[in-house]
Structure 1
């Protein structure tokens, strides 16, 4: 599409100042704290109506995404890359936070958990085929590098041809193929990102090369891409534990048993490659092969300063209450035992998927396709935890200074290892494996006559999934009394906090030594270098075979002069499962096997009425399902603590009798497309659930011991409903350089709950879904003019319950409202080269959560990195 550059000569020349002004604005937001920027002036455009430019960048992405939404049969939102190798964020999960109705949670320096309209039941697809991580039903979207993506489609309504499994929705990640380009194309995107708290600058490099050739055997295309992202990150926390009775110090006093600090440091690396081959021997046949491989490696540690202010002589303590309450405000104590704990982690996940397929125009109006895909995913993890202990002469703590705990420990050098002895070791490790073989065949027959029926679609799918998992026994081993940490060479490290939580540094065991020399640490603590045995009770190995077939019909008619299109469909899915786990009989683990089978009918109807050329009304009715995670189906039980006399014994296990939970879904929307890059929409939705899966704790007796056992179960009924509003425009009618500005804004309201007659005292019964915010919104300022492109995005979601009755006495754990301001500023030096400056967490967001009353019972306060990146994108 071509657009004329308009404006007076004077207004056109003004663009020379825009880049410098934009850089100044971003600098005011904190974006330029780590990198100098060299602004290059662009040549002035000639005032000639024959000078035209192709719409690219932000506008082109908005235009393409809007066309996908308008033309789709489903309720859908899309995000499209600004250019080849240029997605708005560093990973898919971060980008999805801008989509109407999508809520994310950020931890460890990036977005991870993704919800659609408040629900976690999401199906993830890669180019239309199922993609997952090991034993899960979906892939961790943060593991997918954004530089490889062409677009991401978020389906909020179901149709018969979409794979079942996403009760909340379906996220389809689309990568480039060689036939997407006219000919030879090469792209290199390279740069670096600086994280403020980690104080590190890391590389982010990707590249793609693609070409297509006409040969005697038809047209052939090949594409190959590679991505490498490294990210040193830091997260700092200060915490209180739940309030418990402390009336032995002051009458009716409650207070946290522990208060402490967490210093989280990580080195995250993601390496990914993808390829695509296409062959079109003639105009009616196309064959292809494509694949994606990702390797996620995360070495990270959590250094705990576990303050135990009550672990000292009671006569040396004094405390105060928060005015008007019985909750502890301040506590001063002496000779306090204090634990310094390092949790070392090494997590490695390798996922790969390969597919071959073809499409065939078999006859006039008849199009057939088929595909065979193989997916493999392996996850190995280690998590040794070593506690050391010291006695601190003086401790003064405050549970609530503006909603944040404050700890001042002193009287000795907290950084001197000579003051510490070994306390206990937790020896933890495990591995997961998942695989799938997936085949499907589809067809569409388009009628030649322009009648009520337009076309018919049909298809069949066969899928075999396997999932296996095992981990070591839980629990700790106490070290011999009085063994100093200096007996282990290489164990002397210090943890340094950047934020002032009262105590800023302390000795801690070295995480790298714990990971690399775990056998030596075992020897010092337990007397043996042998690793703790694998726990047969945690083991499961499941096999699932799924068969599905569908049929759909595209219909169309006019009512009162209004064209109406509809797609009516039915998907029938059958799943046979064989579940294997282990359970204790006496003192011996014996295999526990459970087989099950279910069949579900999933009707769907999507209607679209073109009220005008630029106004569309939609109505969608469908039934969806989500199957339990494989770990939830584990027929075995893992017993963590068999000593029920001194501490309550606990256990965890799955529930092989779990059924898929289903929903009846109703979606309606009104969409107004007032320009190629401008639209406004209003949507209403309601989901009515049956069998939503939640966890509960029940008393179970084994070998004469009563265990608090956590298991999942199906609830009875539930619902979720709400509305969405979205708006996008570019202000083309503003004069000169101001016409480059644009705006995106959206907001979502959700509310809902589940009920269950079988839940004895379950705190979540009849309440809103845990993890769901009632309100969320996004406001994005855009700019695209004279080679300059910019984006400044603010994301916000309201408070939500994380865990109901988390304290055991009725107090729910709430997360405070969350927000993020991210931005980017790019300059197109020439047709081949663009320089982009990016920034995340520009407002230095502070996360807090609390039990029921934020003024009385704060739990965590967390600070994340502010990140700044500078990148160059070059293409030919």
Structure 2
């Protein structure tokens, strides 16, 4: 299909004027070169004027961009979408990585892939699958990293909300959409087979996905069926050099160095393992007549992880003072280098194995009762379970020589030498942590909706109303925490199969490798390890104080109206309404009291009920057909996590007179934190795949939930107790700018180029009478600035994407460490983070394409620190660079 400009000569002239104005703005912003500007100034006014090689084919990357733009333009809400290039074709492994390219989205990466997702810097999001609430066990939302991106049709990010959306996302709502058979004209089949190589893991793993869909005309009406599968295996390797916060070391050397400070531990972590994601989805649709549709659909997703962290826990001070020599960072009392001999050293392996399964099945119907009345109803069942084991075995040995440099390229260099580092016969079992647990979650969700469209044109264009009932349960329990000391004299070599050697690192951290317990042996032969360490094969007992069970019933009703009117010469479309939601919660748990007489568990329960009224309004002003202004308001809420509502408190009495007793627990008095959200935007759609938008937002919060340690008295004893609490007031404000365009006016092959760019600025924090130290500080985990730049190409069978994502530094933990000179402690800060990912595809035939993908192409190095990255560094982390090759086919 060819690019054309339709309309009267006057409208065409206006269109050219719009393009010229837009190009001038972009040129001023530095987004276009002068050559690109000249190419866009005078586009042809008729399709016949286009040269044959200027044909614009709307497929792949271009079609995805066009579809996402159309969703944004036509929506009632402030929304951003990302759409698959083709069936099952996203250049990312999971949904969280896909969303990282959406304006306002910030992600956190661990073990080489994106997992935590924030909207405008906040974690309070609601996650939906095809419009239905989805979650992971005891959480309020699903771990988006657990969903393979090959299952997606598109993902919508709602930044303003409306009465018909399920409540629960104070920051926004993410709705992940999958395909249905009526989305296609007839038989549709697709398959993708490929493999990805990880450079640090030195592994190549398969990725397979497929879908088949069809629809038939039958005697009982039209019937459609779809089935899809996905399998992704992913071996990974992450490297870390670390050091702990500096503490006083003025007596650690001989002679003593006055006011000396230094990290207590300096070491290395070697993290590797594998992830397996499998998913299946189906959808059935039946349309007995033009007015009725009945459907059933389901999704089953499983994530299986098996990985380990091998610690080299360097203890450079663990020897006599006369064997330690230090130098300091110029101008400070902080150690720069540490040399020691005959140093006690701990080696440790954390083995992890987990299985997370989520499934959701739904049956529903849509009925057009009359030409103006449409109704729908649906019932869904969602279950989620998570089972995990995490055995940890610490060993110890002596290092003959130790050389530490506390800051090399922003991280630590830890060189430990001696036979005990690599010889299992010189490494002794030290202590064992026997950890395991399980979480469960389930819900039954029913809703019914009705929409009425008046026959006569007037102010009101549409009325809708609906009810929802949700019955949710969640429970969790785990083993007792704490370590058990090993029997004396047992070496790692004395247990057949226990000894392994760490993997090779990509850079020199000082100690290239060391002998360590095998994680697979710890996980699969835990009873043998228990016997060797403790003399018994019995596992550590379940901790009854860790148990909690929550039952929650939610009742909701909403009413919504759409209106349309002219404000002078400008059309206005609006949607406003209110959602009323009532929540009843019953929580059961066990209080644990530890004393000289032993542990006592006391059952405790808490019942609560709350009703919230959530008004919302979204208005869209059409300044021109291609220029829109939006104004949106909504009251939103996010409920506390179930674990935060746990009424139980675990008490641990002090063993001495100078150490304060400690306790931890939930807070059943927690209230949902609410927000008054305001959004305003200006959007210019100057081409089918070209737009610019600017959005301003302000969220005023009440009761944002954070954690704090306070002193509480229980049975006459004062405990330093950690609990979540509701802060007072807070706010989040900022701006988003977005731009998208394909440069169709450029000559020849250059007309295939396009660009997507967005930038988000956020600022905000909370006030709290409970913890004044949080006053006027940004939200933990929130970057002030983030942006995406995505270069696109689509021409003559070639399509490509090169995406760069960047976010500024952010605070991870406030008051993370004690600081004698600063009672508030030092904040842990993550340095700016970035990622460059790309994909290249070529259509071998109209039905088959070959795809090349790459992630972390710049080999990003993560770093965090306390206050000063030179004086107080903590972690340096390196992740895999990934290159993938796949073959895609569709009929």
TM-score interval (norm. to shorter): over 0.9
- Report deviation, 1:648: 5.5
**Contact 2:157 2:175 survives alignment (8 Å):** yes
Partner Cα separation in structure 1 for residue 650 and residue 239 of structure 2: 32
The equivalent residue for 2:812 is: 802
**Contact 1:804 1:813 survives alignment (8 Å):** yes
Answer yes or no: is 1:423 the counterpart of 2:392: no
**Contact 2:398 2:420 survives alignment (8 Å):** no
Partner Cα separation in structure 1 for residue 680 and residue 499 of structure 2: 61
Partner Cα separation in structure 2 for residue 367 and residue 69 of structure 1: 24
The equivalent residue for 2:877 is: 862
The equivalent residue for 1:845 is: 860
- Report deviation, 1:103: 0.3
- Report deviation, 1:414: 1.7
Q: 2:354 aligns with which of 316, 339, 347?
A: 347
Answer yes or no: is 1:830 the counterpart of 2:845: yes
Answer yes or no: is 1:527 the counterpart of 2:527: no
Answer yes or no: is 1:171 the counterpart of 2:174: yes
Distance 1:467 1:150, change over 3 A: same
The equivalent residue for 1:229 is: 232
Partner Cα separation in structure 2 for residue 704 and residue 859 of structure 1: 40
- Report deviation, 1:347: 1.1
The equivalent residue for 2:587 is: 579
3-state secondary structure, aligned to 1:500: coil
Matches within 5 A, 1:765-844: 765-809=775-819, 810-844=825-859
- Report deviation, 1:326: 1.4
The equivalent residue for 1:485 is: 492
The equivalent residue for 1:651 is: 663
The equivalent residue for 1:401 is: 408
The equivalent residue for 2:333 is: 326
Partner Cα separation in structure 2 for residue 621 and residue 155 of structure 1: 13
Answer yes or no: is 1:542 the counterpart of 2:550: yes
Partner Cα separation in structure 2 for residue 704 and residue 516 of structure 1: 45
The equivalent residue for 1:709 is: 721
Partner Cα separation in structure 2 for residue 498 and residue 270 of structure 1: 27
Partner Cα separation in structure 2 for residue 747 and residue 53 of structure 1: 28
Answer yes or no: is 1:617 the counterpart of 2:632: no
Q: 2:280 aligns with which of 266, 273, 281?
A: 273
**Contact 1:583 1:591 survives alignment (8 Å):** yes
After the TM superposition, which parts of structure 1 deviate over 4 Å for at least 4 consecutive aligned residues? Answer: 1-4, 47-54, 639-642, 644-649, 701-706
Partner Cα separation in structure 2 for residue 434 and residue 390 of structure 1: 44
With normalisation by structure 2, the TM-score equals 0.92
Distance 1:154 1:612, change over 3 A: same
1:758-786 alpha-carbon deviations (Å, 9 max, x no partner): 22x5x323311000000000000000000
Matches within 5 A, 1:552-631: 552-584=560-592, 587-631=599-643
3-state secondary structure, aligned to 2:817: coil
Q: 1:220 aligns with which of 215, 219, 223?
A: 223
The equivalent residue for 1:738 is: 750
3-state secondary structure, aligned to 1:490: coil
**Contact 2:397 2:420 survives alignment (8 Å):** no
Distance 1:842 1:527, change over 3 A: same
- Report deviation, 1:640: 6.1
The equivalent residue for 1:753 is: 765
**Contact 1:649 1:706 survives alignment (8 Å):** yes
- Report deviation, 1:637: 2.1
Unaligned runs of 5+ in 1: 5-46
1:434-470 alpha-carbon deviations (Å, 9 max, x no partner): 0000000011100111111111010000000000000
Note the aligned Cα RMSD (angstroms).
Answer: 1.5
The equivalent residue for 2:479 is: 472
Answer yes or no: is 1:257 the counterpart of 2:267: no
Partner Cα separation in structure 2 for residue 292 and residue 831 of structure 1: 30
Answer yes or no: is 1:305 the counterpart of 2:312: yes
Which deviates more from structure 2 when the two are superposed, residues 86-95 or residues 116-125?
A: 86-95
The equivalent residue for 1:361 is: 368
The equivalent residue for 1:678 is: 690
3-state secondary structure, aligned to 1:405: strand
- Report deviation, 1:94: 0.4
Partner Cα separation in structure 1 for residue 500 and residue 592 of structure 2: 42
Distance 1:266 1:796, change over 3 A: same
- Report deviation, 1:51: 11
The equivalent residue for 2:13 is: none
1:588-633 alpha-carbon deviations (Å, 9 max, x no partner): 2011100000000000010000000100000001100000000111
The equivalent residue for 2:8 is: none
- Report deviation, 1:644: 5.2
The equivalent residue for 1:666 is: 678
**Contact 1:642 1:705 survives alignment (8 Å):** no
The equivalent residue for 1:695 is: 707
Distance 1:649 1:525, change over 3 A: farther
- Report deviation, 1:52: 7.2
The equivalent residue for 1:457 is: 464
1:657-691 alpha-carbon deviations (Å, 9 max, x no partner): 10000000000000000000000000000000000
**Contact 2:54 2:744 survives alignment (8 Å):** no
- Report deviation, 1:705: 5.3
Q: 1:446 aligns with which of 453, 469, 486?
A: 453
3-state secondary structure, aligned to 1:539: strand
3-state secondary structure, aligned to 1:538: strand
- Report deviation, 1:480: 1.9
**Contact 2:633 2:676 survives alignment (8 Å):** yes
The equivalent residue for 1:15 is: none
3-state secondary structure, aligned to 1:504: coil
Q: 2:73 aligns with which of 70, 74, 77?
A: 70
Q: 1:295 aligns with which of 275, 279, 302?
A: 302
1:730-770 alpha-carbon deviations (Å, 9 max, x no partner): 111111011100000000000001011122x5x32331100
**Contact 2:768 2:774 survives alignment (8 Å):** no
Distance 1:311 1:48, change over 3 A: closer
- Report deviation, 1:653: 1.2
- Report deviation, 1:649: 4.5
- Report deviation, 1:168: 0.3
Which deviates more from structure 2 when the two are superposed, residues 635-644 or residues 295-304?
A: 635-644
Partner Cα separation in structure 2 for residue 648 and residue 627 of structure 1: 32
3-state secondary structure, aligned to 2:70: helix
Distance 1:613 1:767, change over 3 A: same
Matches within 5 A, 1:712-727: 712-727=724-739
With normalisation by structure 1, the TM-score equals 0.93
Matches within 5 A, 1:48-127: 55-127=58-130
**Contact 1:288 1:357 survives alignment (8 Å):** yes
Answer yes or no: is 1:208 the counterpart of 2:211: yes
3-state secondary structure, aligned to 2:310: strand
3-state secondary structure, aligned to 1:514: helix
Distance 1:813 1:373, change over 3 A: same
Unaligned runs of 5+ in 2: 5-49, 820-824
Q: 2:520 aligns with which of 512, 526, 540?
A: 512
Number of aligned positions between the proteins: 832
- Report deviation, 1:638: 3.0
3-state secondary structure, aligned to 2:845: coil
**Contact 1:445 1:456 survives alignment (8 Å):** yes
- Report deviation, 1:50: 12
**Contact 1:474 1:640 survives alignment (8 Å):** no
- Report deviation, 1:403: 1.4
- Report deviation, 1:871: 0.7
Partner Cα separation in structure 2 for residue 160 and residue 411 of structure 1: 67
1:775-804 alpha-carbon deviations (Å, 9 max, x no partner): 000000000000000000000000000001
3-state secondary structure, aligned to 1:806: strand
- Report deviation, 1:154: 0.2
